[in-house]
């Protein structure tokens, strides 16, 4: 790699900054205290790290919960006395109770979907990358940005506290369908636990709205000179669409929650009708529709899937191109497909409701629109494959995870074609097939996008590298484990094995999978342990990792690599560089890479 | 336990130290050579992963396909269409899966970094992009057409001769109601529900309710005769999941839903076909409904018409459970309520022994 040489050739201005300016990072800024720098920070880079590390905390907790309930699924007949030591009455006699099992399943889902893959993923990378890659000194409103993190943090505190209430945390599944979620008498978890769950989610909605509005404003208004929309890296496009999706759909979820709060506390009947609860008797509520909540929920719930997935897609596009030393194939098609996915994301929510008694004609429209999403998804996959084709691929850990993402996205995306087709969905709905599908395509794939992003931008975040060998170990065990866990689940789903069951041993139709469940649980524990290895690598490398010696370690075109190795608040010590070209001039006219800050030559073709 | 944890931690420390050492070695050897070396190893592993992965997919199928019951086909006429649709979808997505995974890992291996490789500057190509927009669109259209034809036939009206049965979910079990001799289900209102004598809240003033027959946990239906379920719930949302019939429908309080299908094999025939004497058509609740969700099981007994008629003849209208003195069987005897309830209990226990 001749990164220094190329830098000298093509980006004289920025390389001057690199070598001379990192001694005075605090350029133009007054002295910062510990509180203003690390706690109530308004620097987007620090806020990004706050999101990341808080997200990691929740990922460990949420992951640990899955290990605990997998213990029950894999070993329903065994007792683990140490569980009682940790969980007390929730694991009497070393056996997780159904209450605890359902609470774990519910919290695992909520935490992973919202706190890890929404806040942890787009919170981290939208904050970190948007100003750096569009060439801005900070977000449009650093203050709102700070609030966004602290609302998220508070949401987390409330969620955490719900684990400790006497009646237990909410245990009706992360989708929180009423009447179950509305009636404390129908499920103990729907008492105080549910109140805290709603409060936590409401705070979370506020957090993502503050963040989202900020991201949109920054991308639209604060691009540096020359950074037209079609010169933006695909990461920014993806994060931009993510923010738009969030801003348009989270309020609908919020409205659904408000109606739920009314039904729970103020005697209204938005979702309740004709209910007789054992031990309580007939409720007075009549005329509500339990299905209304599902419409409101999935109007966010489906875009949410893309809120999780799009940032990963954007980062993967960037990383694949950089490490193939080749332009991303079909840049405009990539934007177009992101746009198509963002639009369609709003028009497919009822495919989660094919078996609710939905009007069949309405259902058929949703089948059509759902399967339509496969077209932009196919475009993306083939464009990624073509990006690799005839490249010169460097297997950095980030690149490995990006390739892994594509593999998982294909595997999990294709089963979406099964589930989106309503007639087939009738059989597969709410079985392990669904679990396998969304864990692969949304859960693991997005985690892979997140890992790719962390490995790729860690040097920019901390001025040091992560350990490569540990990165490779992390990658190979995780991708193998992920497939071993989730691939066989398709077969359980084909047998109709329902999800969210505490024990299958009384079921003649499903108990034949006992051995498989044990195998899956064992692999899940190993994969979880390996993630701890990654965390060790992360925190060790922050302080002791190999130091960066050049500002642009990957030979990348985008603007963040034109800042000093450890950029201060404001990012560029001098003027913000001007942009002259798109972000993907790799391998052009014999140059390994050409930074966006390099003016276009006289006889050079413009993309 | 603590030993296991200690071993795991030790194992981690060892990996961590090796990884750290390898980084020092890399620095000593020079970054370039060590990078090329790790690149070669990872490129090779990409192909290994591809090959082992594809073998794994095949092996997984060997292990588990037999356990899915797809070997025996669907137990309902409608479900056959689900199965055939499934095969078409597997063929399409399976071939795309194999092709794209091979390309992905093969490209990764083939185009791994070589010091003298010149990359191909290839930012876009309209024809290629059109190709992989149009072809998936056409294939998906075919799948949508097949799917919607089936969808409309499943969700369409049940045949006129269908046997109508009401299915009601509650935490955590199933209640079934047959329309009785008049073939009409009587009216009900949820505020009349009383667990002891009126579990569905039937309105007794309605003559049509008076001959309705109510059973719990087990429902009898007839082979080769369309069966229509009118599905509701007493408390939270449940779901009638019938995996062998490839059918599923939510039970929503306040909003009745329907589902119909034609069973192809009696329970006994299925026991012979699967070689499992314990085989039963189980109704699994497929919608999270509370802490007993996993145990909310019902049984469908598919029997011949003759067997069904024989069973039906033994059933008494639910009305007599609520009003034992109206029961003709009790009229002559100076009966108390207690006896009547006992007799209804023996009926239900007889049912259970039949299962």
pLDDT at B355: 40
In a domain, B296, yes or no: yes
Mean pLDDT, chain A, rounded, equals 92
The model's pLDDT over B56-115, given as tens digits with 9 standing for 90+, comes to 999 999 999 998 878 888 999 999 999 999 999 999 999 999 999 999 999 999 999 988
pLDDT at B15: 87
- Is A326 within 8 Å of B122 when comparing Cβ atoms? yes
- Is A326 within 8 Å of B19 when comparing Cβ atoms? no
In a domain, B23, yes or no: no
Structural domain harbouring B102: 30-113+127-155
Contacts of B201 in chain A (CB under 8 A): 276, 282
pLDDT exceeds cutoff 90 at A440: yes
The model's pLDDT over B20-58, given as tens digits with 9 standing for 90+, comes to 888 888 878 877 888 888 899 999 999 999 999 999 999
pLDDT exceeds cutoff 50 at A139: yes
User: In this complex, which of A179, A367, A492 lies closest to B144 when CB atoms are compared?
Assistant: A367
pLDDT at B24: 83
3-class DSSP string for A496-519: CCECCCCCCCCCCCCHHHHHHHHH
Distances (CA, A) of A432 to A87, A232, A466, B304: 27, 40, 36, 33
Q: Is residue A3 very low, low, confident or very high in pLDDT (cuts 50, 70, 90)?
A: very low
Closest chain B residue to the Cα of A470, Cα to Cα? B19
Q: Domain limits of chain A?
A: 3-16+45-276+284-593
Mean pLDDT of B256-283: 95
pLDDT exceeds cutoff 70 at B240: yes
Same domain, B95 and B179: no
Same domain, B232 and B285: yes
- Is B254 within 8 Å of A274 when comparing Cβ atoms? yes
pLDDT at B332: 58
Among candidate residues B137, B155, B173, the one where a domain is terminated? B155
pLDDT at B23: 82
From the CA of A379, how many Å to the nearest CA of chain B?
A: 6
Min mean pLDDT across A173-177, A317-321, B349-353 is at B349-353
Cβ neighbours of residue B90 under 8 Å, at least 6 residues apart? Answer: none
pLDDT at A5: 37
pLDDT exceeds cutoff 70 at A488: yes
Contact by Cβ (8 Å): B189, B137 = no
Contacts of A503 in chain B (CB under 8 A): 294-295
Distances (CA, A) of B174 to A106, A182, B233, B238: 25, 22, 9, 10
From the CA of A354, how many Å to the nearest CA of chain B?
A: 9
pLDDT exceeds cutoff 70 at A7: no
Disruptive mutation site among A276, A277, A411 for chain B (greatest number of B CBs within 10 Å):
A276
Mean pLDDT of A160-187: 94
Disruptive mutation site among A286, A424, A534 for chain B (greatest number of B CBs within 10 Å):
A424
End-to-end CA gap in chain A: 24
Q: Is residue A179 very low, low, confident or very high in pLDDT (cuts 50, 70, 90)?
A: very high
Query: Which CATH number covers residue B204?
Result: 2.60.40.420
Cβ neighbours of residue B55 under 8 Å, at least 6 residues apart? Answer: none
The model's pLDDT over B125-167, given as tens digits with 9 standing for 90+, comes to 999 999 999 999 999 999 999 999 999 999 999 999 999 999 9
- Is A177 within 8 Å of B287 when comparing Cβ atoms? yes
Mean pLDDT, chain B, rounded, equals 90
pLDDT at A30: 58
> Which position has the token pair 């695992």?
A108
Mean pLDDT of B7-19: 86
Options 1.20.210.10, 1.10.357.10, 3.40.640.10, 3.30.365.10; which CATH number does A3-16+45-276+284-593 get?
1.20.210.10
Total count of residues recorded for chain A: 607
Contacts of A500 in chain B (CB under 8 A): 288, 293-294
- Is A426 within 8 Å of B247 when comparing Cβ atoms? yes
Same domain, B86 and B168: no
A582 three-class SS: coil
- Is A364 within 8 Å of B237 when comparing Cβ atoms? no
Closest chain A residue to the Cα of B32, Cα to Cα? A1
In a domain, B42, yes or no: yes
- Is A360 within 8 Å of B155 when comparing Cβ atoms? yes
Contact by Cβ (8 Å): A1, B117 = no
pLDDT exceeds cutoff 70 at A113: yes
From the CA of B199, how many Å to the nearest CA of chain A?
A: 10
The model's pLDDT over A258-280, given as tens digits with 9 standing for 90+, comes to 999 999 999 999 999 999 999 89
pLDDT exceeds cutoff 70 at B310: yes
Disruptive mutation site among B129, B153, B173 for chain A (greatest number of A CBs within 10 Å):
B129
- Is A388 within 8 Å of B104 when comparing Cβ atoms? yes
Distances (CA, A) of B109 to A99, A148, B54: 49, 43, 16
Same domain, B212 and B315: yes
Same domain, B208 and B346: yes
The model's pLDDT over A357-382, given as tens digits with 9 standing for 90+, comes to 999 999 999 999 999 999 999 999 99
- Is A472 within 8 Å of B38 when comparing Cβ atoms? yes
From the CA of B332, how many Å to the nearest CA of chain A?
A: 36
In whole angstroms, give the CA distance from residue A283 to residue A268: 11
Closest chain A residue to the Cα of B21, Cα to Cα? A469
The model's pLDDT over A55-88, given as tens digits with 9 standing for 90+, comes to 999 999 999 999 999 999 999 988 888 888 888 8
- In chain A, % of residues over pLDDT 70: 95
In a domain, B282, yes or no: yes
User: In this complex, which of B70, B111, B150 lies closest to A392 when CB atoms are compared?
Assistant: B111
From the CA of A143, how many Å to the nearest CA of chain B?
A: 39
In whole angstroms, give the CA distance from residue B132 to residue A380: 10
Higher pLDDT, B15 or A249: A249
- Is A372 within 8 Å of B107 when comparing Cβ atoms? no
- Is A421 within 8 Å of B147 when comparing Cβ atoms? yes
Same domain, B318 and B175: yes
- In chain A, % of residues over pLDDT 90: 87
Contacts of A509 in chain B (CB under 8 A): 69, 243-244, 280, 282, 284
pLDDT exceeds cutoff 70 at B352: no
Contacts of B285 in chain A (CB under 8 A): 498
In whole angstroms, give the CA distance from residue A271 to residue A98: 26
Contacts of B18 in chain A (CB under 8 A): 469
Contacts of B284 in chain A (CB under 8 A): 496, 498, 507, 509-510
B236 DSSP assignment: S
pLDDT at B196: 87
Same domain, B171 and B107: no
Closest chain A residue to the Cα of B99, Cα to Cα? A410
Higher pLDDT, A93 or A105: A105
The model's pLDDT over A499-526, given as tens digits with 9 standing for 90+, comes to 999 999 999 999 999 999 999 999 999 9
Contacts of A388 in chain B (CB under 8 A): 104, 107-108, 111
pLDDT at B333: 53
User: In this complex, which of B236, B250, B294 lies closest to A503 when CB atoms are compared?
Assistant: B294
Same domain, B132 and B238: no
In whole angstroms, give the CA distance from residue A229 to residue A219: 9
**CB atoms < 10 A from the CB of A290, how many?**
26
pLDDT exceeds cutoff 90 at A419: yes
- Is B19 within 8 Å of A467 when comparing Cβ atoms? yes
From the CA of A63, how many Å to the nearest CA of chain B?
A: 17
- Is B254 within 8 Å of A273 when comparing Cβ atoms? yes
- Is B89 within 8 Å of A288 when comparing Cβ atoms? no
Contacts of B193 in chain A (CB under 8 A): 276, 281-282
- Is B292 within 8 Å of A496 when comparing Cβ atoms? no
- Is A183 within 8 Å of B235 when comparing Cβ atoms? yes
In a domain, B8, yes or no: no
Cβ neighbours of residue A61 under 8 Å, at least 6 residues apart? Answer: A111
* Structural domains counted in chain B: 2
pLDDT at A8: 38
From the CA of B263, how many Å to the nearest CA of chain A?
A: 15
User: In this complex, which of A393, A427, A512 lies closest to B67 when CB atoms are compared?
Assistant: A512
Same domain, B168 and B93: no
Contact by Cβ (8 Å): A470, B15 = yes
User: In this complex, which of B32, B45, B89 lies closest to A418 when CB atoms are compared?
Assistant: B89
Higher pLDDT, B253 or B19: B253
In whole angstroms, give the CA distance from residue A487 to residue A189: 32
pLDDT at A424: 95
Closest chain B residue to the Cα of A1, Cα to Cα? B32
Contacts of A468 in chain B (CB under 8 A): 22-23, 26, 38
- Is B284 within 8 Å of A392 when comparing Cβ atoms? no
From the CA of B333, how many Å to the nearest CA of chain A?
A: 34
User: In this complex, which of A389, A513, A587 lies closest to B121 when CB atoms are compared?
Assistant: A587
Higher pLDDT, A215 or B324: A215
Same domain, B151 and B240: no
- Is B193 within 8 Å of A282 when comparing Cβ atoms? yes
- Is A422 within 8 Å of B137 when comparing Cβ atoms? no
Nearest CA to B354 among B218, B204, B164? B218
pLDDT exceeds cutoff 70 at A10: no
The model's pLDDT over A325-348, given as tens digits with 9 standing for 90+, comes to 999 999 999 999 999 999 999 999
In a domain, B213, yes or no: yes
From the CA of A360, how many Å to the nearest CA of chain B?
A: 6
In a domain, B232, yes or no: yes
pLDDT at B354: 41
CB pairs under 8 A between A and B: 376
Same domain, B346 and B266: yes
Higher pLDDT, A353 or B329: A353
pLDDT exceeds cutoff 60 at B347: no
pLDDT exceeds cutoff 70 at A15: no
pLDDT at A34: 82
- Is A282 within 8 Å of B252 when comparing Cβ atoms? no
Is residue B314 classed exposed, middle or buried when 0-12, 13-18 and 19+ CB atoms within 10 A define those classes?
exposed
């Amino acid at each position: 790699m001749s990164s220094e040489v190329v830098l000298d050739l093509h980006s004289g201005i920025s390389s001057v900054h690199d070598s001379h300016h990192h001694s005075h990072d605090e350029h133009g800024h007054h002295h910062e205290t510990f509180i203003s720098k690390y706690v109530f920070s308004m620097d987007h880079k620090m806020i990004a790290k706050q999101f990341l590390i808080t997200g990691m905390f929740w990922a460990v907790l949420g992951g640990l919960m899955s290990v605990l309930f997998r213990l029950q699924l894999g070993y329903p007949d065994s007792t683990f006395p140490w569980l009682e030591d940790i969980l007390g009455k929730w694991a009497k006699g070393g056996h997780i109770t159904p209450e605890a099992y359902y609470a774990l399943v519910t919290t695992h889902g909520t935490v992973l979907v919202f706190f890890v893959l929404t806040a942890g993923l787009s919170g981290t990378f939208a904050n970190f990358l948007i100003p750096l890659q569009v060439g801005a000194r900070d977000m449009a409103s650093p203050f709102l940005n700070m609030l966004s993190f602290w609302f998220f943090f508070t949401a987390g505190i409330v969620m955490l506290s719900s684990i400790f209430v006497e009646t237990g945390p909410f245990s009706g599944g992360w989708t929180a369908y009423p009447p179950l979620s509305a009636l404390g008498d129908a499920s103990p978890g729907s008492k105080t636990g549910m109140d805290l769950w709603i409060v936590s989610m409401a705070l979370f909605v506020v957090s993502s709205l503050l963040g989202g509005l900020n991201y949109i404003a920054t991308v639209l208004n604060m691009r540096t000179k020359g950074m037209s929309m079609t010169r933006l890296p695909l990461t920014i496009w993806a994060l931009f669409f993510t923010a738009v999706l969030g801003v348009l759909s989270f309020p609908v979820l919020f409205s659904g929650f408000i109606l739920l709060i009314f039904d729970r506390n103020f005697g209204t009947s938005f979702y309740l009708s004709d209910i007789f609860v054992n031990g309580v008797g007939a409720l007075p509520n009549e005329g509500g529709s339990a299905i209304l909540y599902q419409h409101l929920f999935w109007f966010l719930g489906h875009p949410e899937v893309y809120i999780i997935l799009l940032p990963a897609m954007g980062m993967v596009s960037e990383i694949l191109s950089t490490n193939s030393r080749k332009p991303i194939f079909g840049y405009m098609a990539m934007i177009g497909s992101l746009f198509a996915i963002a639009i369609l994301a709003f028009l497919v929510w009822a495919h989660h409701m094919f078996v609710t008694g939905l009007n069949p004609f309405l259902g058929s429209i949703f089948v059509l629109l759902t399967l339509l999403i496969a077209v932009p998804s196919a475009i993306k996959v083939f464009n990624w494959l073509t990006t690799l084709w005839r490249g010169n691929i460097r297997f950095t850990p980030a690149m490995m995870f990006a390739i892994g993402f594509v593999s998982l996205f294909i595997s999990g995306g294709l089963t979406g074609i099964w589930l989106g087709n309503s007639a087939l969905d009738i059989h597969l709905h709410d079985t392990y097939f669904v679990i396998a599908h969304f864990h692969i395509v949304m859960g693991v794939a997005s985690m892979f996008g997140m890992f790719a992003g962390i490995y790729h931008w860690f040097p920019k975040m901390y001025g040091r590298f992560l350990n490569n060998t540990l990165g490779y170990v992390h990658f190979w065990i995780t991708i193998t484990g992920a497939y071993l866990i989730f691939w066989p689940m398709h077969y359980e789903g084909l047998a109709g094995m329902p999800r969210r069951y505490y024990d299958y041993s009384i079921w003649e139709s499903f108990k034949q999978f006992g051995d498989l469940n044990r195998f899956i649980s064992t692999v899940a524990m190993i994969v979880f342990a390996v993630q701890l290895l990654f965390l060790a690598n992360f925190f060790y490398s922050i302080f002791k990792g190999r130091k960066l010696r050049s500002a642009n370690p990957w030979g990348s075109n985008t603007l963040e690599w034109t800042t000093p190795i450890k950029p201060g608040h404001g990012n560029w010590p001098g003027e913000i560089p001007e942009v002259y070209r798109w972000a993907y001039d790799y391998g052009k006219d014999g140059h390994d890479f050409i930074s966006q800050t390099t003016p276009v030559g006289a006889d050079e073709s413009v993309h | 336990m603590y030993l296991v944890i200690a071993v795991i931690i030790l194992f981690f420390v060892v990996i961590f130290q090796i990884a750290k050492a390898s980084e020092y070695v890399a620095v000593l050897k020079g970054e370039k050579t060590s990078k090329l070396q790790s690149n070669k190893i990872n490129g090779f592993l990409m192909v290994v992963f591809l090959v082992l992965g594809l073998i794994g997919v095949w092996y997984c199928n060997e292990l588990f396909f037999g356990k899915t019951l797809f070997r025996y086909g669907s137990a309902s006429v409608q479900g056959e269409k689900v199965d055939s649709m499934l095969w078409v979808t597997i063929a399409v997505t399976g071939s795309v899966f194999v092709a794209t995974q091979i390309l992905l890992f093969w490209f990764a291996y083939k185009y791994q970094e070589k010091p003298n490789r010149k990359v191909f500057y290839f930012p876009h190509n309209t024809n290629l992009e059109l190709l992989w927009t149009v072809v998936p669109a056409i294939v998906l259209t075919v799948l949508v057409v097949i799917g919607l034809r089936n969808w409309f036939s499943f969700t369409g009206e049940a045949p006129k001769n269908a046997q109508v049965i009401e299915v009601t979910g509650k935490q955590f079990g199933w209640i079934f109601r047959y329309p009785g001799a008049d073939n009409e289900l009587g009216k009900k209102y949820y505020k009349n529900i009383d667990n002891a004598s009126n579990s569905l809240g039937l309105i007794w003033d309605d003559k049509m309710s008076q001959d309705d027959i109510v059973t719990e946990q087990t429902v009898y239906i007839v082979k080769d005769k369309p069966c229509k379920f009118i599905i509701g719930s007493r408390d939270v949302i449940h779901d009638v999941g019938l995996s062998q019939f490839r059918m599923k429908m939510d039970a929503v309080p306040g909003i009745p839903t329907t589902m119909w299908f034609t069973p192809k094999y009696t329970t006994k025939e299925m026991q012979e076909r699967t070689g499992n004497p314990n085989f039963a058509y189980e109704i699994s609740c497929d919608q999270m409904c509370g802490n007993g969700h996993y145990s909310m099981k019902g049984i469908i007994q598919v029997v011949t018409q003759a067997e069904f008629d024989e069973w039906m003849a033994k059933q008494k209208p639910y009305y007599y459970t609520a009003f034992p003195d109206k029961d003709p069987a009790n009229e002559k005897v100076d009966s108390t309520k207690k006896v009547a309830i006992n007799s209804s209990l023996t009926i239900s226990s007889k049912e259970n022994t039949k299962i």
